[in-house]
């Protein structure tokens, strides 16, 4: 995912490339949030990832990320530099797409993030009936 994001950010031009890069950024944030909170449902992880991205986008309104990027150019890759409302839509699309991929791949593997029957749900396995068998 990181190589795809860097390819879009550095190898392509135009608004579509910027939109795709922002969507990939949100998908990467989704992966990080999912790795930290393995028991959370995919929809919750997508909402948290979208909120993080929106908070970073709103932070750009302060001008601090642009000033920081002057002295640390790599900061522009993480924080961006200018607010654009279309970025918010790209973040939502990226996080929801990541959640769908997560749900489909987990279902195909026979698991589901945070569902009551999954190992990540925290539910205890059922006890054998009748306790310990006697000999």
How high is the pLDDT of residue 131? 61
How high is the pLDDT of residue 107? 83
Q: What's the CA gap between 35 and 100, in Å, rounded?
A: 16
Question: What DSSP designation does 80 have?
Answer: -
How high is the pLDDT of residue 15? 86
pTM of the model: 0.75
Q: What's the CA gap between 98 and 104, in Å, rounded?
A: 10
* DSSP assignment of 111-134: --TT-TTSGGG-PPPPPPTTSSPP
How high is the pLDDT of residue 71? 94
Q: What is the pLDDT along the chain (135 residues), one digit of tens a residue?
A: 777 777 777 777 888 888 988 999 999 999 999 999 998 999 999 999 999 999 999 999 999 999 999 999 999 888 989 999 999 999 999 999 999 999 998 888 877 666 655 555 556 656 556 666 665
How high is the pLDDT of residue 120? 55
């Amino acid at each position: 995912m990181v190589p795809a994001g860097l390819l879009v950010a550095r190898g392509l031009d135009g608004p579509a490339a910027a939109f795709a890069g922002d969507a990939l950024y949100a998908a990467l944030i989704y992966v990080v949030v999912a790795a930290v909170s393995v028991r959370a449902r995919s929809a919750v992880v997508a909402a948290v990832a979208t909120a993080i991205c929106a908070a970073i986008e709103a932070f750009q309104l302060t001008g601090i990320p642009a000033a920081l990027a002057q002295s640390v150019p790599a900061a522009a890759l993480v924080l961006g530099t200018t607010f654009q409302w279309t970025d918010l839509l790209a973040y939502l699309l990226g996080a929801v797409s990541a959640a769908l991929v997560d749900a489909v791949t987990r279902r195909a593997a026979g698991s589901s993030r945070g569902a009551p029957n999954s190992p990540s749900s925290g539910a205890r396995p059922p006890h054998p009936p009748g306790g310990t068998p006697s000999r």
